[in-house]
Amino acid sequence: MAKENKTNPKKPKFSSWWIYGLVAVLLIGFQLFNSDDLASTQKTTTSELQQYLRNGDVKKILIITNTNQAKVFLTDEAIAKEVHKDVNEKSFLPSSGNVPQYTLDYGDLQIFQNEITEIKKENNLDTIIEFGKESTAILDFLLSLLPFVLIIGIWIYLMRRMSGGGGGGAGGQIFNIGKSKAKLFDEKTDTRTSFKDVAGLEGAKEEVEEIVEFLRNPDKYTSLGGKIPKGALLVGPPGTGKTL
Q: Would strands 128-132 and 58-64 be described as parallel, antiparallel, or unpaired?
A: parallel
User: What is the pLDDT, as a whole number, of residue 198?
Assistant: 58
User: What is the pLDDT, as a whole number, of residue 177?
Assistant: 56
- Domain residues of the chain, as ranges? 32-134, 205-232
CA distance 136 to 139: 5
The answer to whether 15 touches 22, Cβ cutoff 8 Å, is no
Instruction: Please write the tens of the pLDDT for every residue from 33-59.
Output: 555 544 567 889 999 999 999 999 999
User: What is the pLDDT, as a whole number, of residue 94?
Assistant: 46
On whether the pTM is more than 0.85, the answer is: no
Sequence-distant (≥ 6) Cβ neighbours of residue 213 within 8 angstroms? 220
| Assigned CATH for 32-134 | 3.30.720.210
User: What is the pLDDT, as a whole number, of residue 50?
Assistant: 93
User: What is the pLDDT, as a whole number, of residue 96?
Assistant: 46
For 148, half-sphere exposure in the C-beta direction (CA atoms, 13 angstrom radius) is 16
Strand order in the sheet with 69-74: 42-43, 102-105, 69-74, 58-64, 128-132
Q: Which helix (H) or strand (E) holds 145?
A: helix 137-162
Instruction: Please write the tens of the pLDDT for every residue from 190-229.
Output: 556 665 665 555 666 677 777 778 778 888 777 877 776 6
Q: Which residues in the chain land under pLDDT 50?
A: 1-4, 37-38, 91-96, 166-172
SS (H, E, C) 89-121: CCCCCCCCCCCCCEEEECCCHHHHHHHHHHHHH
